[in-house]
Amino acid sequence: MKALVINCTLKKSPEPSNTEALFRTVSEHLEREGVEADVVRAVDLDIAPGVVSEAVHEGDDWPGVHEKLVASEILVIASPTWLGQPSSVAKRVLERMEGMMSETDDDGRPVAYNRVAGVVVTGNEDGAHHVISEITGGLQDIGYTIPGQAWTYWNQGPGPGPSFLEGGSGHDWSRSTGRAMAANLLGVARALAARPLGAPPQ
């Protein structure tokens, strides 16, 4: 089984990412369970604006990300919170994923069916639950299954404060919730693999 984590930080590699520090709790748990986990830092790529899966222009990196999406049973979107919103990078990723809504497999099922998804959020401000609902709502529209408690987050609370890597409180809760998220994603992914959804009735 394969998992894909799309890190929607605004920081290009190799700059340390608070969002990566938290999602590693999820991906490492999946790897311990035998899942092959791949990570894409979207800001490092040329992802053109658009709502299609094919390249928008020469050098558009989205088709490679799309290939990883359809090869993975588990998806994690990881985003920081800015002004209580998902990052602009996360919104770009979701826009391009909209192209999947018109894609089906050989059995006529939407290509995202029988795949599960969850969300990781970090930020030194409130807004994590809003970001989770924004992202999971889009993923459900595309066809992903969202298990119960398929998220974890960390924030410092109201007002400015330290980032995840700088300290603050709540790290143990965020990590334990991340491990629960990973277990729930994997459990539902295995259940769907054993008894997959069929094509929607016409």
- Chain segment 127-147, per-residue pLDDT in tens: 899 999 999 999 999 999 999
- CA dist., res. 118 & res. 26, Å (int): 10
pLDDT digits (tens, 9 = 90+) for 148-189: 999 999 987 666 677 888 776 678 899 999 999 999 999 999
- CA dist., res. 65 & res. 131, Å (int): 22
CA atoms within 13 A on the CB side of 28: 10
For the record, the structure tokens of 75 come out as 């998806």
pTM as predicted? 0.95
pLDDT digits (tens, 9 = 90+) for 43-87: 999 999 999 999 999 999 999 999 999 999 999 999 999 988 999
Burial classification of residue 83, based on how many CB atoms lie within 10 Å of its CB (0-12 exposed, 13-18 middle, 19 or more buried): exposed
- CA dist., res. 52 & res. 22, Å (int): 30
Question: Is the distance from CB of 177 to CB of 21 less than 8 angstroms?
Answer: no
- CA dist., res. 170 & res. 164, Å (int): 9
Question: Is the distance from CB of 26 to CB of 39 less than 8 angstroms?
Answer: no
